[in-house]
Structures are given as structure tokens and as C-alpha cells.
Structure 1
Amino acid sequence: MGGDMLEVFLNEARDLLEQLEAALLDLETRPNDRELINTTFRALHTLKGSGGMFGPPAMAAFAHELENAFEKVRQDKAPVTPALVSLLLQSADQIRKLLFESDGDHSAESRRLADALLAEVADGAAAPVAAASGAAQPAMQAAVAETLQRFRIRMSLERSALAFGTNPLALIDELRDLGTLSVVADTSGVPVLEELVPTDLHMAWDMELATSRGRSAIDDVFIFVDGPDAVRIEELAAEAAPAPVAAPAPVAAAPVAAAPVASAPVAAPAAPAPKSEAPVAAKAPAKAEAPGEGKAAAAEANVRVSASRLDMLLDQVGELVIAQARLSALARNRHDPVLTTVAEEIERLSSDLRDSAMGMRMVPIETLFGRYRRVVRDISSDLGKDIDLQFSGEETELDKTVLDRLGDPMVHIIRNSCDHGIESAERREAAGKPKRGLLRLSARQAGTEVVITIEDDGAGLNRARILEKAQAAGVVPEGVTPPDREIDELIFHPGLSTAAAVSNLSGRGVGMDVVRRTITELHGTIEIDTRPGEGTRFMLRLPLTLAIIDGLQVAIGDAQCILPLTSVEECVELAAVETRASGGRNFVDIRGTLVPLLWMNEVFGTAERGAIVVVTESEAGKLGVVVDQVVGQHQTVIKPLSPLHAKTPGLVGATILGDGAVALILDVNPLARFVGQPRADRIAA
């Protein structure tokens, strides 16, 4: 098997496992949700099918046993219990090991989980019948006389089916598992020996199947079969089952109809497709579409591209934007109408290309938040605490590279919030709190930053214990009591932990220092706000370090600077508005709202005060940035600063202007701290 196909299979398997985990976590709170049951079954079925063609045999066999066990749930022969969900989540972890950890023997753990699952569904198999009330007895008695459905199936696969991994005998075996199957091989297409190609498929099969599982189960068998006429399914007259069946018949109101896969080896639909009476492989023609048209659209819906290629594309687009800016400047200087027209057209095209390239890298943060549902569930189970997890701002988008690196730091913070922050049910009740703890994850965009907040309603940081541990470790001298804010920051000191004992969750003092180091490497900051008895909030601020943004170019003395356009509200002349002074601070009256002024000449150390107020929106509210001149809008390619300047407050990066000059990109949130200072630290020479 080629490396590309293996990589596609592994990527699709990761997606399927994430989908399976999310469905199981939802199923734990909504055990009777038929759609979630179908989604879980399809994920298991697809993992089994794709694993049989591309994955390790042990993984395919294990997934097959999981599917068989969960089939009883889908047929309403066993209930969804917390124990079953826990076993299935452990099984999903086991599939990951079988796929991505080739070293070691995992067969014993696979056998243990498979046996435990079979025992769990067997123990609960009688529950629906035993719990039936007297009013429900007529329905149960009607279910005893189950009816078998009969189907005539013609399987005529494409000649290239064998070369692409399809095993027709395995498909026949799966049909045989559904009921009573008769098979007649059609060998009329087999050529003479001299013309026979061993890798081509020349046979077809005519089959009749009597099953109680319904049409949807047959559709699942042929989920990977391509070709408009590869499979034809005809429903025949039903017949009574020869023996009564005690369990209720499968729920026909919510069938599972799997869509065919065009080219990718693994496919997992996001929602159950409606039941169709057309053959599985001929669904597109049944809707009066051209053969394969529906599959082509599905195949084009998502294309996997490596992150390195996206980085290269964005770098090239950035250079194109810089070149376009030089062309526009040249057109303005030469006053050539033809050149100006071409420059404007290229500017429009480069702007569209920039937006498209940026959109490819941006990912909703819900893909990150979704991972922590399982983390919080497992931690709360280990600690014996009931913890609710709430999300907000999941639609906020973040660069995928940054998103991927945030995974581990946020896990450390969440673990600490659950372990150290949120109290036990008894302590919470004694403190007048609800027994269930609450953990909130939120995200929002603020100017050039994405702000991610992790907040719990626990006891807050124990400053006395933190200080005691810090003094015992020699981090803080004996007898010295730092301010509260500095004590809070001590939790990021390497090797410092307040845990009473080492456990699998905490105690060794590693984790929070890694959090700070990772956030710093991303040119972000982390802030702590704790309230004794009420909870703790961690706020991660992540600036844009490699992006293309719309900016407002301004002049401050001889320096050219860029303000992100997303934070700019309006520009007014200083002479045209009323200014006031209070407590050493200057304000400007903007339609009845007093806006504090930041004199950029003091920040940059220039002699003359500016004449234009750029009204911006910062974390602290509105801020009037006073500059000498507003040059105009500018497409800004953010270039990282040197290590010498990277930690300068108020600077996000730099960019190259059309004339080749360097302009500094300003961030209004750190700049707001300079307001009212008699002499702000300079951010530029």
C-alpha cells in the first residue's frame, strides 16, 4: 500500500475516532437518542471496513467485535449505560493504540475490552423486556412474531475492484451474518485463460437474503462499494420467521443508510442519511443525477492539505502583497493611468487571494474545546467529583498552528482547575455552593488577539499554602510576603506544587511552568484572577504573530506605524474636538463620551505633539491614539520581530511598506497601559 493512501487512512481514522468519542459523550447524557446511536454504529462500522482494507488486522478484528456488541444496542436489545459508554471510550483509546503504537503486544487488552463489552450488552439484554409494564405487554407480544424481509441482491463490481482493496467474498460473508443467504456465482464474464487478467474481477453474484435486520443493515455492508451499477437490491415479499424472537424488532423509524465513498478509504457522514430504496451504489442515478455526480461533489467537499504547504502558500501570498504595495506606490508616483488601473486590479486580486489563504489556516476553536469533554469526564471520575463543562465562543477562529500547540497547555490548566480548584461535593455543600462544580471555557477575538479563558467556581488559589511551599523551596526568602499577584504567579515556578501527595493528576510541580513557556513561545501572555472561595480564572492572550491583516498606516514623527483596522473606530482632528484634563490624564469628548488620550510623541520620544486622534477599542475601553498623520489603509503582512524587540510592549511585529521602509505594527491593548504615565517607556528608538 502506498504511503499516500496510508496517510489518508490514518487521517480519516483520527477524524472517525474524534467523531466516535464525541457521539459517545453525548450518548452518555442522551442514551435514547437514536441519531447518536446510529452515528456511533456508523463510526465503528467504517473503522472496521477501512481497517480491513488499509489498517492492521488486529485493529480491524477488534473494531469488528465492537460493532457486533454495539449492534445489540442499535437493535434495542441492550440499553446504553454509563458502564457501556466507559468501555466504548476505552475501546476507542485501544483502537488508537493499535493504529499508532505498533510497538508492544496489545492483544490481551483488546481481548479484555471485547469480553467486557459482550458481557455488558448481554447483562442488559433482558432489561427492555423485564422492565415492560402491563400496558406494554401487547406490543411486546406483537414483537415476538417477527417478520423476515427478503431481498434479491445482484453484486457486479467493477473490474478494478480487487486492485483497490475490495474483497467480494468478505462482503458476502457480512451478508451471511445478517440472516439466511443463498448465493449463485455468475461466471459468464470470465474470459478464456489466455485473455484472463489475474488482477481483474470477472465474476458477479446473484443472492437472496432473508433477514430481520432491514434494508439499512444491507446498505452498511456496501458502504465502500463504488460504481452506479455495482449493487442492485430488490425487496421481495416478506415471510414469517420460523421461530419467535423475544427481543423487540429493530426500530424502523430511524434507519442507518450509509452513503457511498468516492475515493477516500474512510468516510464518516456527519449525520444519518435518509433510507433509500435505490441500490447503495446507484443512489446518484436514482435522483436523476449523472452517474457519480453526487460522489464527485462529496469527494471535493474536503481536501486534506499538509500544514507546511499552507505555511508556504501564506508566505508567498505575503510576499505578493508586499510586491503589490510597491506597485501601487509606483503607480501613484508616476501618475500613469494605465499603470494605476493594472495596480488596482492586482490589489483586488491579491486581497481576495490573501483572504482565501488566511481562511484556509483558520480553524474554529470548537475543534480544540471538544477534546476537553473527555478530559473533564475522566478527571471528574478519577477524583469522584461531579463537574459540568460549559463552552462559549466556540465559533472564534484561530490559526491551526497556534491551535495545535495550545492543546497540552490547556490540559494542564484544566487538570489543575479540577484537582486543586473545584472542591469535593461535601465541601461545596458546606460552603453553600451547588454540589456540582462548574468549569467554563470561552474564547473571543479582541483586536489583534484571541483571548481564551478557563474559569472554575472552586475555592480559588490557596495563597498561604503557595507561599509556604515557595519559602520551603527557597523560591521566596523566609519572612517575606510578596503582593498577592506575585504569589499567584509562583504557581508557574518550575518544581513548585501545592499537592499534598503525588498522584496521576498532580504533585510533581511540572505542568504550569510548561504552560507559561509554551504561551510565551507563541508570543502570548497568561494572566490569573483568583477570588478566595469563588474560583479562579486563567486568561490566555494570543497575538497574531504570522498573518496578513488590514491596517491603518499612521505617521509618528519620522516613524511609520500600523494600527490593526479591526481595533480602529474613527479618526478625528484634535483641534476639532474638546479636550479635558483630570488627574494628569487628558481626555477628548467624542459625542458625549470621554476618551483617554495616548500621546504617541511621548511614547516615541518625538518633540511635537500629534494633530490626529485615532479612536480605537482596547480591552480597557476606548482609547484615543494621537498621531501626526493618517496615511491610509494598508494590507499588512506581519513579520516577526527580532529576539531583541520581541518582548517590547505594544509591538505585534513589523511590515514592509511599498517604498521598502519598515513600519511597526502596534497593539492598542498594551499601549493603553501607558495612558497617564508622566514618561512612558519608549517602544522604539
Structure 2
Amino acid sequence: MNNIDPIAVFKTEAAEQLEVIEAGLLDLTSDLDDRAQIDAVFRGLHTLKGSGSMFGFDQLAAFTHHCETAFDRVRKGEAPATIELISAVLDAQGHMQALLETPNGDHEAMSRKLLENLQRAVGGAASAVPAAAPAGVVAVASKAAEQNTKRSWQLKFSLPANSMINGTNPLGLLDELRDLGECEITAETQDIPSIDDLDPREIHVHWTVSLVTEAPESEIEDVFIFVMDEMKMELKEVGSSPAQTVEAEKPAIVGVAQTPNNAAQPAESDKSLPEAKAQRQNDNVRVPALRLDEMMDRVGELVIAQSRLSQMAGSAADLGLRSVSEEIERLSGELRDTMMVLRMMPVASLFSRFRRLVHDLARETGKDIELITEGETTEVDKTVIDRLADPLIHLVRNSIDHGLENPQDRIAAGKPPTGRVHLSAHQTGSEVVITIRDDGRGINRDRVRAKAEANGLIQPDQQLSDQELLQLIFQPGFSTAEKVTNLSGRGVGMDVVKKTIEALRGAIDVKSNIGEGSEIALRIPLTLAIIDGLLVRVGSGNYVIPLSAVEECLELSVEEDLRSRGRSFISLRDHLVPFIRLRELFNTGTEPEVFQKVVVISTGAERVGLVVDQIIGDHQTVIKSMSKLHSNVASFSGATILGDGNVALILDVAHLVAAGQHQEAQMRAAG
């Protein structure tokens, strides 16, 4: 049984179309004469209007029609593409999103306001954008003639049998032809099969159209711009040259349709067309994220069961059981890797949102801002991308409001008037590092310290490292802004950033130079579901350290342990590395082993050693959330189930590294 909701599918595809329109508009801001982008925006608006009308989103179709008409004038050279027009359509694009989400809401007042702005942007031509038209009525725009005399055309066309299934409404195409001039339409019904063989989902009718219009040939073809590659069409001017035949064998794509000169292919070639099209259509499948989450849960349970089987096989003498266990281990590992890839998405889907944000903030602040993105193909778990959106918005807004100077101040400081915000992503091991960098004024450390002392966060004489001082900007209620603006200054946002990143088991690094700008790096795990871990024992308990954070393992003898009492440092290639005795941190109440081990972990440039009793080995770790009772325990980020059914806690690397560095700072201050 098919439970697919066509309205839900339309909303998803319409949202994607709106993103395409937005991207095209933003690209146009850097080159107003880019014909390819002008055509792309027009086609996006045309598609959205037609699809919205077909699925009953009349307000959306009507409103989008006016924007389409405005860009149609630009496309034909009747009006220039201007920054004002792009801004007006960008504002309208946000309203289209509201019309999509609440199609039956009262949007008339906002529609009128935006259409008035659009009318002013295109020069006030009443025929271009009828601002006073009701939001629910599509006004038929007058077509600009390229020639003053009317011409007679004869058009014969047939659509693929599955056109209606794919969302094409033949009646909409015929209505567009009627809008071009005097139109006489004849439906050719001789190919309709008997009632027993009739499939009501398919089109069995083709049409002959006589059209008298001032519109040029290109405008008639534009009616079929989105089905041109799949349909058969004969178009000729009555009494003039022979007909040009259009017959395509490729699926429709969003692009400027070209009319090939070749004649129709033999009927034999059409026999393989449905199979080839079906193969191409199956190349990409839209799957709800919830189903992927359910599959990942099942894969996680399989990994746990496989771990238990491996443990049982390892203690058994049956070689056949061991062989099966190894095979299942290999298959479950491959299934896990495949599942992880399915959940991965490029960060381009995240970065693309900030082009519009930067464009709007530039208008609001009066600053010249250039957004540069790098590493968009870097892939991260979809859940991570969804949860990173809000933190990145706060960081980009702060870079623009606090960091970048206005053009006059930048010129006075010897900088170019246009400020730069640089968004980049790259993968390091099993982490993704997302960096937000600006070339603004930088963070004033004296102001940060004064504000922290005023808020009681630190004591006036308290010694802090540069990183500890910069990390104060993430404290709740902290802000160095001199006045509250629409963008920032209330001390809300940066603390949310830190909480979100820590909830993702990530870390934040801050760098800043006065007059040169600031850089904030977010270190995020690739996935939140399954990780490779190092299983260790402390006392009688087992713990998992994320393998991506492990640098090396050392042995700590009893003599070295006693010698380092009071100064918990080890010498590692001429560098002192602080270490934490987990046995004392977790208060196990057990005596140390004769030969303890030190696991050196790191986040970025910071390193710390963890003293454990035994290193058991690597372990595929299925991450389980902590209970509400233990959710605030800072040393752990989650738990996992071992093969024997026992629970092992997953250590929070970022918290332990921070604790070790704090311990080092205290010892250095005391010494």
C-alpha cells in the first residue's frame, strides 16, 4: 500500500525550489548581467507557480506569478536586473515560504506590501506587476511583442503517457497558449484505448492548436520549457517553412531547452525508453530521515549482538563458530560503514543558508560584506548538520556585528572597505572542524576581562591563560557590546553555542588578534551514532575513550607514579604533558596496578594524559544517551553496552582535556 502524501512531497520539492531561487538571486548580486542565473530564477519561479496551482496552493501560485512576470521582463530585456529588484524578490521569496507552510492563512496584507515593493523595483510598470490584484487571483500579464504584426502558427504536440504522474498538467499548458493570443484547440482522441485497457493515470490524447499571436516563436516554445525534452512537438508558421520536429529521449532537466533538428526516432528505439527512464529515475531515492534513524538503531543493536558473539566465539574451542563470528563481524562492519555514509550530507547544505543571512545583515548594518566558503563537500552526519544551524547563525551574526567595522573605519585602519567572513570545513580523523573567521577588529581582551570581573565570573587578580580568557565570551549573559542592537548585545546566544557544541561532544577553539580579526573553530564528531573507541579498565569499571582523540599510549611505573605526586606531568619528547589519575577522579577506592598505562588524548593543540589500570583494546561503540539522572555528569558523554551485557561509560574528551589544562595552569601559578 502506498502511503506517500503528494502534498508533503510537493512541499518538500517546493522548499528545494525556493532554495534554488534564492541561490540564483544571490549569485545575481555579483553579476547583474548573468543570463544563465536570470533564466534559472525565472524557471524556478515558473515551476513553483505551476506546481502550486496544480496542488491547490492558489495564494502561492498567484503571488509567485507576479515575481515570475517581473523576471520575465528582465529575461526579455524589457527591464534591467537591479539590486533593488533582487532584494524585492528575495523578500518575496521569504513570503513564498510562508504561503507554502500556511496556504490557507491570511497573507493578503503582506502580499500587497511586497508586490508594491516589487512594482517599484521594476519601474512601476502596471502591466508587469499588478500590485492591487487580490492575492488569490492570478492576473494575466500582457505579453510584450517582439513584432508588431500578428503571426499564425500551427502546433501539434503530445506529452509522454506518464506526464500527469510526474506533475505536468496539460490544461495548464493549454491555458498558457490561450494567454498568448487567439487560440483554437482540438483534442485528438483516436488513440484512446478501450475501457478495459485504459489506464486513468496516463495521457492518451494529443492536441492540434491554431494560434494567432504577436508573440515570437521562442515564447511559444517557452510554454513547454519544462517538458520539452520528453514530448513530441511540431511547430510551424502557417504558409512558411516546414515544421520543426521536437522529440527527445532524455528525462526533463531544469535548463534552457534547445530544439534539435533531427527528425523523430524510429519506433523501435522507443521500446527501450521506459526501461532506461526507470533506471535513471531510480538513481536517487528520497528517504525520510526517520527511517534512516530507525535503520541506524537496528545497525547499532546488530553491532552489540556481534560483539557478544565475538566474545563467546573467542572463549570457545569450536573453529566453525569462530569462522562464522569473523564473517558476521566483517559484514556488520561493512553494514555499519554503509549506513554511516547514507546519513552523511555535505556541509554545503548548511553553508548555503548563510549567503542570504549575510546579504540581509549587510543591508541592515550598512556594511560591505563578502562571504567566502570553503570545503563545502566535507560530509557530516545529518543530525549534526541540523543541530549546527543555530550555533553557526549566532557566530556569523556576531562576526558581522561585533567583528567587522563599517567601511569608513576599515579605510581609516588601512583595510579594504569590504569586510570578509570566511566559513570553512575540513575533516581531521573522525572529526570535522568548522571555522568562522573574519578580518575585523578582533576581541578586546581588556574589555572581556573587565566585563567578566563586573559579572563576578573571575576575581580581579585571577591569572588566566589567553584561551581561558577568550572562552569567557561563551558564559551566559556575557556581552561586550556597548549597546543592544537587533543583532546582538543581550548576552544571549554564545552560551547557547557552547551548550550545543558540548552536547554534540565537540569543542570550541578561539583565536583573535586586535585589528586583524577573530577565528572560532568548532570541532565536531562526524557522527553521533557509532564510533570506534579504546576500551580501558579503571579499578573494576570499564570505560571507552573515543579513538579519534587518542594520540598514543605509555606505561607508567610505580616509581614514576610516586615521583610525579604533587606534579602530575610526564615528559613526552621534551614536552611536559599533564595527566589525570582516573582512579582518583572516579574515586574507585582500589589500589593502583603495578604497571599503569597513560593514554594521551588531545583536542586540537591541547593534550592531556589519562592514567588507567589496563588497556583492553579497540571497541565498536554504539552510543547510548545517559539517563536524566546522570545527564549532568561532565566527565561522560554517553554509555555503551559491551558484548557481555555490561555497561561502559564513554569519557568526555573535551571536558577531561580542559580539566587537565586547568590543573596545569594551577600548578604553574603555584610554582
TM-score range, shorter chain: 0.7 to 0.9
**How far off its partner does 1:296 sit?**
2.4
* Structure 1 pair 478–551 and aligned structure 2 pair: CA distance change class (3 A): closer
Aligned mate of 1:391, from 373, 381, 396: 373
- 1:233 counterpart residue number: 233
1:427 matched to which residue of 2?
409
What CA deviation, in whole Å up to 9, does each residue of 1:27-78 have, x standing for no partner? 2113333332332222112111211111410111222222222123333443
Give deviations 1:211-267, integer Å, cap 9, x for gaps: 8655696365363699x7xx42125479899xxxxxxxxxxxxx9x99756xxxxxx
Provide the C-alpha distance between the structure 2 equivalents of 1:395 and 1:164, rounded to a whole number of angstroms.
30
Counterpart amino acid of residue 15 in structure 2:
R
Partner of 1:206: 208
Equivalence for 2:328: 346
State, as a whole percentage, how many aligned pairs show the same letter. 44
497-506 or 282-291, larger mean C-alpha shift = 282-291
SS at the partner of 1:453? strand
SS in 2 for 1:96: helix
Partner of 2:434: 452
1:330 CA drift (Å): 1.3
For 2:226, the equivalent position in structure 1 comes to 223
Is 1:437 aligned to residue 419 of structure 2? Answer: yes
Is 1:410 aligned to residue 395 of structure 2? no
The 3 A distance-change label for structure 1 pair 612 and 659 is same
Question: Corresponding residue for 1:374?
Answer: 356
The one of 641, 646, 666 aligned to 1:661? 646
Residue of structure 2 in register with 1:139 after alignment: none
Q: Which residue of 1 aligns with 2:16?
A: 15
The alignment status of 1:275 with 2:263, answered yes or no, reads no
Change (3 A) 1:428 1:551: same
Give the 5 Å matches for 1:13-412. Answer: 13-102=14-103, 104-114=105-115, 116-117=117-118, 120-121=121-122, 152-155=155-158, 158=161, 167-177=169-179, 181-188=183-190, 203-208=205-210, 218=221, 221=224, 223=226, 231-236=231-236, 260=251, 272=255, 275=258, 277=260, 290-412=272-394
Q: Distance in 2 between matches of 1:499 and 1:525?
A: 25
Q: TM-score, normalised by structure 2?
A: 0.77
**Are 1:506 and 2:488 matched, yes or no?**
yes
Contact 1:409 1:514 in 2 (8 A): yes
For residues 345-401 of structure 1, give each alpha carbon's deviation from its aligned partner in whole angstroms, at most 9, with x where no partner exists: 221221122112222222222211110111111111111101111223323322222
The alpha-carbon distance between structure 1 residues 19 and 163, as it changes in their structure 2 partners (threshold 3 A), is closer
User: 1:443–1:191: structure 2 CA closer, same or farther, 3 Å change rule?
Assistant: closer
Query: Offset of 1:412 from its aligned partner?
Result: 2.1
Query: In structure 1, how many angstroms separate the alpha carbons of the residues matched to 2:638 and 2:63?
Result: 51
Residue segments in structure 1 that go unaligned for 5+ positions in a row: 126-142, 242-254, 262-268, 576-580
Aligned partner of residue 282 in structure 2, secondary structure: helix
Residue 272 of structure 1 and its aligned partner are, at CA, apart by: 3.0
Once the two structures are overlaid, the 10-residue window that deviates more, 444-453 or 29-38, is 444-453
Once structures 1 and 2 are overlaid, which stretch shifts more, 484-493 or 357-366? 484-493
Letter in 1 for 2:209: M
Give the stretch that moved more between structures: 555-564 or 89-98: 555-564
Q: In structure 2, the residue corresponding to 1:79 is in which secondary structure?
A: coil
**Matched-pair contact (CA < 8 Å) for 2:381–2:528:** no
* 1:616–1:493 CA distance, 2 compared to 1 (3 A): closer
Contact 1:258 1:272 in 2 (8 A): no
Match of 1:245 in 2: none
Partners of 2:653 and 2:439 lie apart in 1 by 31
Match of 1:136 in 2: none
Question: Are the aligned partners of 1:595 and 1:622 in contact in 2 as well (CA < 8 Å)?
Answer: no
d(CA) in 1 for partners of 2:403 and 2:93? 29
3-state SS of paired residue (1:390): strand
Deviations 1:283-335 (A, max 9, x none): 99897672334542443233333333222221111011000111111112112
CA contact (8 A) 2:583 2:612 kept: no
Q: Which moved more, 1:184-193 or 1:385-394?
A: 184-193
Kept after mapping to 1: 8 A contact 2:641/2:647: yes
Pairwise CA distance, 1:208: 4.9
Moved more, 429-438 or 313-322: 429-438
Contact 1:149 1:214 in 2 (8 A): no
Q: 1:114 to 1:573 in 2, by over 3 A?
A: same
Q: Relative to 1, partners in 2 of residues 1:661 and 1:435: Cα closer, same or farther, differing over 3 Å?
A: same
Contact 2:532 2:618 (C-alpha < 8 Å) held by counterparts: yes
Q: Distance in 2 between matches of 1:279 and 1:502?
A: 66
Distance 1:624 1:165, change over 3 A: closer
Query: 2: CA distance between counterparts of 1:310 and 1:478?
Result: 46
Distance 1:492 1:557, change over 3 A: closer
| Structure 1 partner of 2:456 | 476
Against the structure 1 CA distance between its residues 200 and 15, is the aligned structure 2 distance closer, same or farther, given a 3 Å change threshold?
closer
Q: Which residue of the other structure, out of 592, 608, 616, is the alignment partner of 1:607?
A: 592
Kept in 2: contact 1:223–1:258 (CA 8 A): no
Separation in structure 2 between the aligned mates of residue 343 and residue 625 of structure 1, nearest angstrom: 33
CA change 1:10–1:493 in 2 (3 A) is same
Question: Cα offset for 1:476?
Answer: 3.3
Q: CA deviation at 1:118?
A: 5.2
AA partner of residue 205 (structure 1): W
CA–CA separation in structure 2 for the residues paired with 1:675 and 1:584: 11
Q: Which amino acid aligns with 2:58?
A: P
Scaled by the length of structure 1, the TM-score of the pair is 0.76
Q: In structure 2, what is the Cα distance between the partners aligned to 1:124 and 1:400?
A: 46
Inter-partner Cα distance in structure 2 for 1:594 and 1:273: 63
Q: Structure 1 residues 545-554 or 338-347, which shifts more?
A: 545-554
- The one-letter code sitting in structure 1 at the alignment partner of 2:624 is K
Structure 2 residue aligned with 1:634? 619
Match of 2:514 among 529, 532, 553: 532
Distance in 2, matches of 1:123 and 1:305, equals 45
Identify the residue that residue 129 of structure 2 maps to in structure 1. Answer: none
| Range that drifts further, 384-393 or 103-112 | 103-112
Q: Contact 1:48–1:61 (CA<8 Å) still a contact in 2?
A: yes
**1:99 corresponds to which letter in structure 2?**
L
Q: Superposition RMSD on alpha carbons, in Å?
A: 4.9
The change in CA–CA distance for 1:436 and 1:289 in structure 2 (over 3 A counts) is: farther
Q: What is the alpha-carbon distance in structure 1 between the residues aligned to residue 281 and residue 74 of structure 2?
A: 31
Conserved? CA contact 1:530–1:536, under 8 Å: yes
